[in-house]
Amino acid sequence: MNNFNLTDWALRHRAIVLFMLLLVAVAGVFSFTRLGQLEDPNFSVPSMTTMVIWPGATAQQMQDQVLNRMEKKFEQIDNFEKVVTYARQGYAGMTLTVRGGTSKADQREAWYQARKKLNDLSLELPDGVIGPIVNDEYGDVYGLMYAVKGDGIGHADLSDAAEDIKRRMLKVPMVKKIDVIGKQAKRVYVEFSHERLAALGITPLAIAESLKSQNAMLPAGQIDTNGDRVMVRVSGQFTSEEAIRNVPIAAGGRQIKLGDVATVTRGFEDPPTYTVRHNGQPVLMLGITMTSDGNIVDLGNAMETAVDKIQSELPHGVELERVADQPSTVKDAIWDFERSLMEALIIVIAVSLASLGWRTGIVVATSVPLVLGGVALVMLVMGWNLERISLGSLIIALGLLVDDAIIAIEMMVVKMEAGMDRVKAAAFSYQSTAMPRLTGALITVVGFLPIGLSKSTTGEYAGGIFWIVGAAVLFSWICSGIFTPYLAVKMLPKDFGKHQHAGDPYDTKPYRRLRGLIDTAIERRWVVIGATFGALALALAGMKFVPQQFFPNSSALSWSSTCA
């Protein structure tokens, strides 16, 4: 720091510094308005689930004939840490987890290999096994949810309306996918009287076999000619309820139609597997997932415009209602940060005005938005978003941003009170405080180093704390060496502080009290050191009583209950 004085260089190139100051201010405003806005940072969940269904099978059969085969397949795949399985009557599940620190590319490759192995295995499983059904999209959460409802409208019409709305919503920018929740599967019901079947000598199994054989898709061969190949297909597959009613059934040596002994109707699964109710009314829910590079606030605005247009064109009685609104949550979080920023500026200005004067207070307060502008520019270049972790990091950094500016301007003012001119006082301030301030900044950054370099889901989720706080404190150090002295020289008069102290500026009552306290601590250094280690040990012992949880509690007003 003795060979090159950053402040001296800045004050000798004031035109360049002014240009840099304006550039950082404009770029900061531009960057802040262009940053993506999310509720939580993007991170990958290192697990995937697989489910298999085998109607009628016992839990032991699921384990022996299905799960054991699946487990052996995954012994051949790299990067997997563990496999957890469970078996129940008729179905079984498996959760696969990759090792901590696995990169996103290796994780995607592991999921791809897992799907290949499962597809190969499906040909070896017993007849009647459904699956394996794979889910590796834990990271896809619904940012918006809309209820599709309509008084007096049947489920079929409501389902058709929901599908039409989904098709139109998929055209909205930043929409990745839309799921229709609560839609019931369509079914064709064949209902009959057991007494009547018994009188005709027909068994339910005979009806099932007739339906199966009539609707079977079997190869019928091909005819090869000199110029073409003609495929032979057998007709008869079901295309309507009437075709099912016309299926022939053997009864007492003669053929009758299924419709003569049974009622064939089309409907939905009963009882339904999954239903959704909103405010006591059955509805269908549309869950909207945003693309990974999207802006949830912009998506909310675009979706609101699209919904207004869609609503005006829906059939009479069908309504759309927004149920889950993540964009509003993100807007509130960003407003909380902006409010904290304004509160910090007011506090800094008030304290600076009270202790250093209005000119010095303005110089110190100006450093906060300049530093935040530089950080916003870094975030935009690096592709970081405004979300829970980054906003928390910026709020943490707010308490550190003014330290460098206050130390630099305070040392400059003290030297001006001692008789130095502004330029020499500013250069002396950098020469005497730059290294301690840089050391303090680096120590602060290193405190978050384990999170930033952690090769785990926690590091992927919360690692932004290290990078954003680090960028903030380092840019604050640079700002206090370039912009703060420049503004101080421009705003402080030449004779600032010279008439406040006739002699030594440190010969004041506050300084004498502080010096006495420091002298006492040095004289009793072992007591101070012992008390420090004692406080550290007490803090470490008390850590086990601090509740630990990965995600903070949500402020959303909601509750859930499960009925079995």
The pLDDT tens digits of the residues spanning 387-419 come to 878 888 887 887 777 788 888 888 888 888 777
- Indicate whether 534 pLDDT > 90: yes
pLDDT band of residue 359 (cuts 50, 70, 90) is confident
Q: What percent of the chain clears pLDDT 70, i.e. is strictly above it? A: 92
Q: Of 241-255, 469-483, 520-534, give the lowest mean pLDDT range.
A: 241-255
Which DSSP letter does residue 552 get? Answer: P
Q: Is the pLDDT of residue 249 over 70?
A: yes
Residue 500's pLDDT is 54
Question: CA end-to-end span of the chain, whole Å?
Answer: 71
On the question of pLDDT at 559 being above 70, the answer is: no
Q: 532: pLDDT confidence band, cut at 50, 70 and 90?
A: very high
How confident is the model over 91-117, as a mean pLDDT? 80
Residues 6+ away with beta carbon under 8 Å from 358:
none
Q: Which of 147, 108, 454, 86 is nearest to 282 (CA)?
A: 147
CATH match for 47-135 among 3.30.70.1430, 3.40.50.620, 3.90.1150.10, 3.40.50.720:
3.30.70.1430
149 vs 155: CA distance, rounded Å: 10
Calculate ∠ Cα 101-106-112, nearest 5°. Answer: 135
pLDDT at residue 281 greater than cutoff 70: yes
pLDDT at 530 over 90: yes
The pLDDT value given to residue 556 = 60
**Tens digit of each residue's pLDDT (9 = 90 or more) over 36-57:** 777 777 777 778 888 888 888 8
Superfamily of 144-185+274-325 according to CATH: Multidrug efflux transporter AcrB pore domain like (3.30.70.1320)
Measure the CA–CA gap between 430 and 413, rounded to whole angstroms.
12
Task: Determine the average pLDDT of the residues in 297-319.
Answer: 85
1 pLDDT more than 50: no
Please report, as a single letter, which amino acid is at residue 271.
P
CA distance 392 to 314: 42
Record the tokens describing residue 122, joined without a space: 């499906």
- Cα–Cα distance, 515 to 291 (Å, whole number): 59
- The answer to whether domain 6-34+356-507 has CATH 1.20.1640.10 is yes
Round to whole Å and give the CA distance between 49 and 67: 13
The whole-number average pLDDT for the span 14-40 is: 86
pTM confidence score: 0.68
Please state, in angstroms and rounded to a whole number, the distance separating the CA atoms of residues 98 and 96: 7
Q: Where are the domains of the chain?
A: 6-34+356-507, 47-135, 144-185+274-325, 187-216+235-268
Indicate the pLDDT class of residue 26, thresholds 50, 70 and 90: very high
Q: Is 71 exposed, middle or buried (0-12, 13-18, 19+ CB in 10 A)?
A: middle
**Fold equal for 47-135 and 144-185+274-325:** yes
**Distances, alpha carbon 478 to alpha carbons 5, 123, 228, 475, 488, in Å:** 12, 64, 78, 5, 15
Other beta carbons within 10 Å of 157: 14
Q: Does domain 187-216+235-268 have CATH number 3.40.50.300?
A: no
